[in-house]
Amino acid sequence: MKVVSLFAGCGGLDLGLVQAGHKIVHASDVDKDCVVSYNDNFDHEAHCIDVKELKGEDLPEYDILAGGFPCQGFSVANKYRSADDKRNELYIEIVRLLKETSPKFFLAENVPGILSLEKGAVVEVIHNEFENVGTEDGGKGYEVRIEKLNASDYGVPQNRKRVIFLGISKEFDKETRERMFAHFPPVPTHGDDYEKRKVTLKDAIGDLPEPNSKLAERIPNHITTSHKVKINGYIGNRKLDWNRPGPTMVGRGGGTGGPVIAVHPNLKRRLSVRETARIQSFPDGYVFSGSKSSQYRQIGNAVAVGFAKALGEMLLKIESER
């Protein structure tokens, strides 16, 4: 299906959707480094534009509106999170563009913290606004369902929980929508109850040489920060376990950081940019531009590629029920 990608970042969601068989017909983000990274890795071009300036009439014909609208204001990692955070209002731009273009489907991604903000009142407002898109002008709106999923259940070497909003146009009759929603959420592929075991950190990064070394020169972005970190009074922050998926990779790592900074399982250093990218399931050929801090931020804020691919495959199954 044809996809319009908002808040595209460095391209994690879009890469997964393309791997699943979709075509990106528009991608945009306001972050210049993200757009440079995106355009270095795709045949199509992303645009550096504020979503508030994007008009529905400027978009090509498409089937799915997709976007991980900025999550920093919702995240429990943000101790100052508030319903009044201006970043939390950007979902309204998705609502506006849905109204202006009326695609058949939309997919939105965010952090689990959105579920608890203001004791659930915020997510209820967002859900209702998505459901009622265009109804004041005679449109049918969308049926919207929400699921909290873990990327490690889909082959990503990371326990990365995310909330997924799936909207299906009420232009489809109720019976058709029920058949479509039967594919949501996608069935997990990895774990004790499934055919494949979960992918561990050793699986993901165990073969990489030391960053900043001669051997590392052939591997794009295999560089790390020189900042020291601490674990229990000596060097390190949050030490990882080789035999498990990692914790959530976050949009920090090049600065002094905090307790959310991940430390290599065997070595007293932080993960390199490439190690972080692998844990987000980016292939080694996917390159990142900008400063070291910017590269860490781009990767940490991205949708994990393997998770995005699972969502893309789910969308194809949904489309087949039309």
The Cβ-side half-sphere exposure at 85, using a 13 Å CA radius, reads 19
Residue 197 DSSP code: P
d(CA 43, CA 39): 7
Number of H helices, E strands in the chain: 10, 11
d(CA 142, CA 126): 12
Which two three-digit tokens encode residue 42? 């795709």
Specify burial of residue 218 (Cβ count, 10 A radius: 0-12, 13-18, 19+).
exposed
Residue 281 DSSP code: T
d(CA 305, CA 283): 9
Omega prior to 185 cis, within 30 of 0: yes
- Answer yes or no: 48 catalytic: no
Q: How distant, in Å, are the alpha carbons of 48, 60, 110, 125, 242 from that of 103? A: 23, 11, 20, 21, 43
Read off φ and ψ for residue 162, nearest 5 degrees: -140, 150
The residues, any chain, with a CB within 8 Å of residue 202's CB and separated by 6 or more, are: 242, 243, 265
- Range 30-43 burial, b when 16+ CB lie within 10 A, else e: bbebbbbbbbebbe
DSSP secondary structure of 38-87: HHTT-SS--EE--GGG--GGGSPP-SEEEE----TTT-TT-TT--TT-GG
Known catalytic residues are 71
